[in-house]
Structure 1
């Protein structure tokens, strides 16, 4: 008897929440049926540089000119990029059944106050651009530095939801849960590997997703694990059972068009083997112990985690700068 085959996208949807990792409106129309939608500085740059986005960029520039005096702590170009991100959010959110994720300026990764100010500003911009938008559907993505996560702690008390991104260790995951992030995004691969085909990351952090999810369950914390930065279908299948998978459009299309034997697919999931992680996971409370947190995080993976975090923040900062340069070019051309 021939083995029963399953559609890979349908299978993943039966095991985990599927989130859309793009602000490409046409791709969103093609995929459909995703829950959350996530974005970052690469997405803002990639979208705003498209000729088809000339009107949206011009609209962002005009609005920034009229309200910049309300936000004197940010440059005009920064504000235009944030407004552009919110315009993109409002365009795509009707297609999502869940939350919309907008990333804080990565240049603020090591400033608690600037991250806090950004969270409050993004909510004000949402109200300015679309008063009918439910602010509880907005989640700000924050780099998982000590300062960034302490900002998430403060924002929680203001009713602003946050996600800890650029996360590579259990130390970051533990602190993110303690400060009340609604979710975390463990990067399975170094971010550079996704942008540079010649750069290889030979140690994907698939098990980190399993450990973090187990930790939150064991500690009765509400923080969810949204795995991201995967490479290839097999890694996605290995993560079937994680709270959520953040997947780029090309991988979603490939999953949709691919079928594999049912038993083969199910056997790949690391979450059906959770019991295999038998050692007791013990971590101290980090929320009020900056010294202990920094020492443990700096030592994680022999120092490699610190390198990965810095690398990821640098890459996102580069795209932030490119997006701001688009604004300068547009202004010079009188968009």
Structure 2
């Protein structure tokens, strides 16, 4: 049995790509997209017609409406491949605007529902800013489930749990990148692998906290750099994995054993934690990695959203 099959016995596997034609061979349950992945896909010959056809069908409408039509068009194609859910992201440029995030989420859900897709197959992806978390809290009360992304800091996870969010996506690889860059020449890869990987440690801490205190929010590790990180989080609720790493897991056959379990977490001696807005902002400020990677992630997604805008205007 290959490592992908072994992983699926303990964890829900999610495909992290906009490339729905490549997805089926890995049989993921869910799929996630983001502005960068959609931008990458629409620049490929296989997917360019999907962009041009959608733009042509909605020409004359405001740009942001056409963008949402393109995102949902990809989501609809992905939902033909996966049996579960697709995550579709709200424009990162709205990350500090609660009301605008809610409005955009309503529009995305409306487009899916108009196409006959029920709400329980969609996760609205929102950056884990305080404003984003409050938007998601409101949306969850309406039965619109959310995936809080760009999550790097423990305080972000705690606030999402308090808000009753459906799912969070802590970014393993980007945390790893930050600590590796900080260490420079002092970084020893072998010493920082597996359970010692800083990204793995972050997700483990969040998972254990949620399971210890009965928080229903699903934990989906994301942004992996190697299959060692994935194997070290076997047992996590979900893991969203790029096609390249799915292929590596499929080609490997070393034993995979669960590293995380709800039962083990419940035996841990942990203290309850909660945050109001001021406490959240201070805790995030006290975490240089979390602060820097959240800001950088929003900037990068905003840049790619701008590039997608440009492609649509030129189509």
Query: Cα deviation per residue 1:96-140 (whole Å; 9 max; x = unaligned)?
Result: 121110011000001101110011010112234x1x212221111
Query: Cα deviation per residue 1:211-233 (whole Å; 9 max; x = unaligned)?
Result: 21222222222101000111111
Q: CA RMSD for the aligned pairs?
A: 2.5
- Structure-2 change in CA distance of 1:64 and 1:178 (3 Å): farther
Which of 63, 68, 72 is the equivalent residue of 1:82? 68
Which of 230, 246, 252 is the equivalent residue of 2:240? 246
- 2:160 corresponds to: 176
Q: Distance in 2 between matches of 1:91 and 1:114?
A: 26
Q: CA deviation at 1:35?
A: 0.8
**Unpaired stretches in structure 2, ≥5 consecutive residues:** none
Contact kept in structure 1, 2:209 and 2:265, CA below 8 Å:
no
Matches within 5 A, 1:12-161: 12-31=7-26, 33-65=27-59, 68=61, 76-128=62-114, 130=115, 132-161=116-145
Quick check: 1:270 aligned with 2:259? yes
Q: Distance in 2 between matches of 1:283 and 1:135?
A: 31
Q: CA deviation at 1:191?
A: 7.8
Larger Rg: 1
Q: CA deviation at 1:159?
A: 1.4
- Structure-2 change in CA distance of 1:274 and 1:309 (3 Å): farther
- 1:3 corresponds to: none
**Unpaired stretches in structure 1, ≥5 consecutive residues:** 1-5, 69-75, 331-335
Matches within 5 A, 1:241-320: 241-260=235-254, 262=255, 265-266=256-257, 269-271=258-260, 280-284=270-274, 286=275, 289-300=276-287, 303-320=288-305
Q: Distance in 2 between matches of 1:86 and 1:141?
A: 13
TM-score calculated relative to the size of structure 1: 0.83
- 2:206 corresponds to: 212
Q: Distance in 2 between matches of 1:137 and 1:276?
A: 30
Q: Distance in 2 between matches of 1:322 and 1:14?
A: 39
Q: CA deviation at 1:279?
A: 5.1
TM-score calculated relative to the size of structure 2: 0.88
Contact kept in structure 2, 1:192 and 1:311, CA below 8 Å:
no
Q: Distance in 2 between matches of 1:56 and 1:211?
A: 41
Q: CA deviation at 1:180?
A: 1.6
Q: Distance in 1 between matches of 2:85 and 2:290?
A: 28
- 1:333 corresponds to: none
Contact kept in structure 2, 1:191 and 1:229, CA below 8 Å:
no
